[in-house]
């Protein structure tokens, strides 16, 4: 079971090649840092994950994570470790204008030893239909392990409404 030892930033974000550091968290055996790397003007961001070993002797690996072609940009916002794997939550946008963008969630499973991507799965929001935008707010309870499965908790809104957001929780196999 993944255990959070600290939720405060552990590394100096200015030292990382990340335009936005969303989370740096100490988990069993090391530190997982996630965020987004952007171009010179901070647009067209790409998700980023980094693993630092427990001894703090440096980065074991770091990588920019792929997003499907139909997406404009994305960011990695949550991370947890379970056994030999890091699970990184991606929040992707389909359009450059926020009012027109659909937010889509993906869960990427990376091997701790070398950052190899084992799987990349879209997180489908139950009972939301097809035209919705989803997001996950900060906090370790929004990406966690429960009953041997990964739980993602967040909110969604339908694209054709101005609703504030309906809460959801979905369980995914590891």
Q: In what order do the strands lie in the sheet with 20-27?
A: 20-27, 30-37, 46-53, 59-64
pLDDT tens per residue across span 120-149 = 999 999 988 888 999 999 999 999 999 999
- 96 CB contacts (<8 Å, ≥6 apart)? 43, 72, 73
Quote the pLDDT of residue 56: 63
Quote the pLDDT of residue 157: 92
Encoded tokens for 66? 């792929």
Encoded tokens for 131? 């035209």
Domain coordinates in residue numbering, the chain: 13-128
> Which among 86, 141, 146, 92 has a CA at the least distance from the CA of 154?
141
Quote the pLDDT of residue 99: 63
């Amino acid at each position: 079971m993944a255990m959070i030892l600290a939720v405060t930033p552990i590394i100096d974000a200015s030292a990382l090649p990340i335009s936005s550091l969303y989370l740096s968290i100490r988990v069993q055996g090391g530190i997982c840092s996630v965020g987004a790397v952007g171009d010179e003007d901070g647009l067209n961001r790409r998700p980023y994950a980094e693993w630092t070993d427990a001894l703090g002797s440096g980065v074991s690996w770091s990588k920019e994570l792929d997003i499907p072609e139909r997406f404009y940009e994305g960011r990695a916002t949550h991370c947890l470790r379970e056994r030999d794997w890091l699970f990184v939550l991606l929040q992707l946008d389909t359009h450059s204008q926020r009012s027109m963008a659909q937010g889509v969630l993906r869960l990427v499973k990376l091997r701790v030893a070398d950052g190899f991507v084992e799987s990349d799965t879209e997180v489908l929001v139950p009972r939301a239909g097809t035209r919705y935008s989803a997001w996950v707010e900060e906090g370790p309870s929004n990406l966690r392990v429960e009953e041997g499965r990964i739980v993602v908790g967040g909110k969604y809104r339908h694209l054709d409404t101005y609703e504030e957001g309906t809460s959801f929780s979905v369980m995914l196999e590891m």
